[in-house]
Amino acid sequence: MTTLNDIVSLSKRRGFIFPGSEIYGGLANTYDFGPLGVELLRNIQNYWWQYFVTSRHDMFGLDSAILMSPRVWEASGHTASFTDALIDCKECQTRTRADHLIEDFFAEKGNAKKVEGLRETDLTNLVTQEKIPCPKCGKSNWTNVRKFNLLFETSIGIVKEGESKAYLRGEIAQGMFVNFKNVLQSMRPKLPFGIAQSGKAFRNEITMGNFIFRTLEFNLAEFEYFFDPDKTKWEEIFADWKKDMHAFAVSLGLPAGKLSWRTHSDEERSHYSSQTEDLDYAFPFGTKEMFGLAYRGDYDLKNHMEKSGEDLRYTDPADNAHKFIPHVVEPTFGLNRIFLAVLSESYQTDGERVYLKLPHFLAPYTLAVFPLLSNRPELVGKAKAIFDALKGKFAVAWDDRGNIGKRYFAQDEIGTPFCVTVDFDTLDKDSVTVRFRDTAAQERVEVGKLAEYIAAKLT
């Protein structure tokens, strides 16, 4: 059974994920994407964009700024309501989220309990009544639970003191809401339609472990899907996006049996939402949320219209007198969590080797090319010619380090679907050995037909 330690070890060994600021002792809850990690993450992001944006006629892309006016976050309710329940151990000063502390405690006892969203007093009482120990020092001597705002504060430029405050965005949705009018005026879309973007978000979260599942800085992809509530029931749109989100997850190679929807309780649901569900995945460390789907109503546009003074209503093209604030359903995708889920699901071992059974379209490299022997110029020259011919058509790796067996195993561990070996038969018969990652089987293919052969295998 694959463990989180297996994933962490492979990620660093093969250049997917490195601990943040490692040579200075690290910075908790930060990670860097290595050479192969950025390729996998980019492939996930590009696939999401193609799946939900470029393949549709009703979706418009956006890339809004990370820094926005602080008034945006006041209007959205984040400065007042974007909080976690925080608790400190008086003995060792360990700081953690109270809801996670309680849920982990009950999970270890085999009694799953969801407490996110409970009032601070209720959480404090639970910790006290159950005598929940500190995960670091083992003692049960805690402060009362208190609210902690998740927005990162920063300062802008050389301005008057008190006027420079800004926030790193805690979600990427607000950039789409504040640009709603711009999209209406420039693109003239008809309802229903969506505005989509992907990018960085930042949350000053207190987390404990689970690798890149929950970090201070992370990658999101989401869209706001606007509609006329008088013509379409939100429940219908919500149900349609549930199906599409589930289908997208399955298309990534995640088994339907490891996916499940969970409805947020009234206490857990965010301040802007009247209905939220999470699509959970069975990670090696437990079943946790990967995607979210929220019905935000007209909360955001209404508040931004009120606070900014700008008219953010939509005019019905069939009736210019009919102006209204559209409602919105929001599908959200945690790209870092997709990354972790894909690695977890792809990690395979057959006793002799470890290999990542990545979908071909996500693998950092489609194929690797190498000479059988790196000290034979005629083999190296031929292999480089083949490499140069293929690299414009596929993502191709070059590898001439060590013996051929080690090179195969290295490519297996990074998930390369095909390895192409130039040997002495290549010089005589103009054919190469193609090795398949998942089975380790090999096949001879003519050099002149190699690109066509690989392309056919990818369909």
Digitized pLDDT (tens) for each residue of the chain, 459 residues in all = 899 999 999 999 999 999 999 999 999 899 999 999 999 999 999 999 999 999 999 999 999 999 999 999 999 999 988 888 999 999 999 889 999 899 989 988 888 888 988 899 999 999 999 999 999 999 999 999 999 999 999 998 876 666 688 999 999 999 999 999 999 999 999 999 999 999 999 999 876 679 999 999 999 999 999 999 999 999 999 999 999 999 999 999 999 999 999 999 888 887 778 899 999 999 999 999 999 999 999 999 999 999 999 999 999 888 888 899 999 999 999 999 999 999 999 999 988 899 999 999 999 999 999 999 999 999 999 999 999 999 999 999 999 998 999 999 999 999 999 999 999 999 999 999 999 999 999 999 999 999 999 999 998
* Dihedral sign, Cα of residue 238, residue 244, residue 248, residue 250: positive
C-alpha distances (whole Å) from 217 to each of 124, 206, 220, 344, 415 are 28, 12, 10, 21, 26
Choose which CATH entry (3.65.10.10, 3.30.1490.190, 3.30.930.10, 3.10.310.10) describes domain 4-80+152-161+169-347. Answer: 3.30.930.10
Q: What is the pLDDT of residue 313?
A: 97
C-alpha to C-alpha distance for 36 and 38, rounded to whole angstroms? 6
Q: What is the pLDDT of residue 424?
A: 95
Q: Within 10 Å of residue 298's Cβ, how many Cβ atoms?
A: 17
C-alpha to C-alpha distance for 377 and 152, rounded to whole angstroms? 56
C-alpha distances (whole Å) from 37 to each of 42, 178, 265, 327, 336 are 8, 32, 35, 37, 10
Question: Strand 323-324 relative to strand 327-334: parallel, antiparallel, unpaired?
Answer: unpaired
Q: Supply the DSSP symbol for 317.
A: T
Q: What is the pLDDT of residue 162?
A: 61
Furthest-apart CA atoms within the chain: distance in Å: 79
Strand partners, 314: 324
Which CATH superfamily groups domain 365-458?
A: Anticodon-binding domain (3.40.50.800)
C-alpha distances (whole Å) from 212 to each of 8, 146, 218, 342, 410 are 9, 26, 8, 13, 23
Q: What is the pLDDT of residue 159?
A: 66
Strand partners, 421: 370, 433
C-alpha to C-alpha distance for 354 and 348, rounded to whole angstroms? 6
Q: Are 452 and 459 in contact (CB under 8 A)?
A: no
User: Where do the structural domains in the chain lie, given as residue ranges?
Assistant: 4-80+152-161+169-347, 87-149, 365-458
C-alpha to C-alpha distance for 286 and 274, rounded to whole angstroms? 27
Tokens of 227: 């509609």
Tokens of 197: 């973007």
C-alpha to C-alpha distance for 138 and 146, rounded to whole angstroms? 21
Q: Is 276 exposed, middle or buried (0-12, 13-18, 19+ CB in 10 A)?
A: buried
